[in-house]
Amino acid sequence: MANSKPSLSPVSQRARITIALAVVYLVWGSSFLATKVMVTEEPPLLAAGLRFILAGLLLGIVAWWRGGPPRLAAGELRHVAVVAAGSIVLSNGCNVLGMQHVASNISALLNATPALIIGWLGTFGRRATPLSGAARSGLILGLFGVLLVLDTGHGSGAGSFGWQLVILAGCVGWSVATVYFRNATIANSPTMFLSLQMLAGGICLLAGAVLTGEPMRMNWSGPGAAAFLWLTLMSSCLAYSAYSFLTIHTAPVVVGTYAYVIPCLAALLGWAALGETLGAMQIGGLAVILVAVALVTGYAERLLRLAQHARSR
């Protein structure tokens, strides 16, 4: 079964896309705070691996009940392996390791970059979407914004600059997996595919915990358990499902709009709950990245056309 759109009315489709975007914005905007709490209280790779395995099992039960057992042909398993490697193992693995040393708000700012990377990678593949001149300028501007965020004088711990680069590597993995999934022809339903993806990624993260010598025992502190449950149920089950829906049913530039909201919400929550602050360089970098995202996604041009239309009336 290809990644095809269901026969929904335009109004119904728009409503679903709006709801999915709201879920991604709000849940993932709070996930950086939850991740920071979790990796502070629990072994990071162990907790992340268990989180995705549990979420994968829950989603798999739902998908099996709705559509039958998974399809496990060789091509399908290859798609699962590639997407799991990028979106779970590399992306989340790098984030939970890096956030032991990097503030949650800095991690959120860096995680705005997939909107830029996805926009560029979206120009390739069978569903390629070309970039305008403004969008190409936005990619260059976005790189400058990232350099501002990577201010070595505002690290949250020894060697934090290097850990920021680790988080950026995870952002690249996430972007590659997103575009790969968009272009792949999958045999399973999106929910079943997501279940397989999380199970595969969670098992790999557990293997990483063993190889790196992490304690193989959860502490289950109050804050750690609450963060774990939030990330498992809301972030992994709900928001990942919404993101997969958007990846299939919208253009990459629409999927990437989460980069507008999530860093701002995460920075606000990090300040309110953890007392985190941003330096002038990071605030400037956030502003530059948001402008760059507006250029890459085409929203800057749309706003300009609206302003010109308003003046002409």
Q: For residue 4, tell me if it sits in a domain.
A: no
Q: For residue 2, tell me if it sits in a domain.
A: no
User: How far apart are the C-alpha atoms of 142 and 286, rounded to whole Å?
Assistant: 9
Q: Which residues contact 255 (CB under 8 A, 6 or more apart)?
A: 118, 178, 243, 246, 247
- Per-residue pLDDT of 234-290, as tens digits, reads 999 999 889 888 877 887 667 766 777 788 888 889 888 998 887 888 788 878 888
Closest of 230, 248, 255, 228 to residue 27, by C-alpha: 230
- Would the pLDDT of 302 be above 80? no
pLDDT at 2: 42
Give residue 278's domain range: 10-312
What one-character-per-residue DSSP string does 103-128 give?
A: -HHHHHHHTTTHHHHHHHHTTSSTT-
Q: For residue 168, which phi and psi values (nearest 5 degrees)?
A: -65, -35
Q: For residue 5, tell me if it sits in a domain.
A: no
pLDDT at 223: 95
Closest of 86, 292, 80 to residue 169, by C-alpha: 86
Q: For residue 69, tell me if it sits in a domain.
A: yes
Q: For residue 21, tell me if it sits in a domain.
A: yes
- Would the pLDDT of 5 be above 50? no
**pLDDT-derived band at 141, boundaries 50, 70, 90:** confident
Closest of 171, 195, 175 to residue 76, by C-alpha: 195
Q: For residue 263, tell me if it sits in a domain.
A: yes
Please state the domain count of the chain: 1
- Per-residue pLDDT of 80-107, as tens digits, reads 999 999 999 999 999 999 999 999 988 9
- Would the pLDDT of 72 be above 90? yes
pLDDT at 283: 83
Q: For residue 1, tell me if it sits in a domain.
A: no
Q: For residue 306, tell me if it sits in a domain.
A: yes
pLDDT at 149: 79
Output the pTM of the full model.
Answer: 0.82
